[in-house]
Structure 1
Amino acid sequence: MAMVGLFWIGEDAVHVGAEPTGAASGVRLTEDGVAVLGAGGDRSWTWDEVVRIETHDVPVRSGVRRLASMAFDAALVAVTGDGELPPAFTVEVATTGETVLADAHAAVTGGIYLPAEYELSALLLRRLAEGGADIADLLAWGRDHAAEGTPPREEREALLRKWAGA
C-alpha cells in the first residue's frame, strides 16, 4: 500500500486516512462505492447515493512547522517511552438520505499533512462525490505502483492534480 495525500491506496481499495485495523473506524472507497467501517457497524453506499465527502480537523502544517512537530513528538516518545496512535480526523459522508461521520487516522509519517496535499485531497474527494473523478484511476495506480511504497512529495501532488482534474 502507498500513501498519496489523505489516501492510503492498495490494489482493491482506497482508504481515507490509514487502513483501519481491528475495531478502528475508517472510510473505504471502492469501485462499488463508499463504506464507513468500525464503530457503530459497517455502512456502505453506491457512488450514485453519495453527494458529498468532506474531512474535518485534519492536522495540516507547513513544512517547517511539520518538521518541528515531528521532532517534538519523537523527543517526547524518547523521554517518556509512550507512543500514541496517529492523530484522528473526521470524514463526513453525505448521501441522498443521511450524513454519517467517521473517524480516520492520519496515514502520513508524523501524522501531519502538508497544505498542498491536503487541499488537493479535499478537491479529489469533492470530485469523486460529484462524479467528476473516478476511483478506478486511483485503484489502477494502486495495482501498478502501491507495492513500491509511498512516492516522493512532488509525485504525490502530481498524482492528486491528475486524479482531481486540477
Structure 2
Amino acid sequence: MSFEFAIWNGAKPVLHALRQAIGCILGPNQRDLKWIGLLLFMGLSIMPAAIAAPTSVTGDLSKQAAIEVQVSLGTATDELKFVPDNLEFVTGKRYKLVLNNPSSQKHYFTAKDFADGIWSQKVEAGKVEVKGAIHELELKPTATAEWVFVPIKPGSYPLRCTIPGHAEAGMTGVINISTGRK
C-alpha cells in the first residue's frame, strides 16, 4: 500500500464527517461548491487530524452509536469537583457526554483545547439543541446537558470550572484522547 493511499484512507472518515456537517448547514445546491472552497481554505491543516483518525472507522460518524459518559459538576453537598475528574476518549468514536449539576450553585465545564480537538455534533439541554463550535458549558443548579461529539486530535487537555475560586478549590480535571492503538 502506498503512503499516499494510507494517508487518504485515514483521512476519509474525518473528511466524510466534515462533509456531512457542512451538508447539514448548507442546502444541496451550495454543498459541493462550499465543500471545495473549505478544503482549499483548510489546505493541509486537517491532515494531522486525518492521519490520527483510525482507519477502522467507516461510514457516517454521526450515525455511529454513542458511548455514554456521565460527569457531575459539583456534588449534592456543594463540593467543588468534577466526578469523575479524569475522562478518557478514543479518536474516531462517537460519545454522548452527559453533564449534570447536583449542587446548589452554577458551574462551568471549560476545556477549550479539548473542544478544538473534537467534532461537536450537538449539545442538548432541555428543549434546546445547539450545533457548531462549543468551548464551554454553563450548568445552573440541577441542570443537565448532553454533548455529542467525536474526538479527532489525541492529547491531554485541562478541564476546569472558570467561576472565580472554583478551580483553585479543586474543580479541575484532565481529558485524555488516545488513538486506541497500543
Global fold match (TM > 0.5) = no
Q: Where on the TM-score scale, by shorter chain, does this alignment land: which range?
A: under 0.3
Larger Rg: 2
TM-score norm. by structure 2 comes to 0.21
Q: Which structure features the higher share of helix residues? A: 1
Higher relative contact order (CA 8 A, sep 6+): 1
Q: Which structure features the higher share of strand residues? A: 2
TM-score norm. by structure 1 comes to 0.22
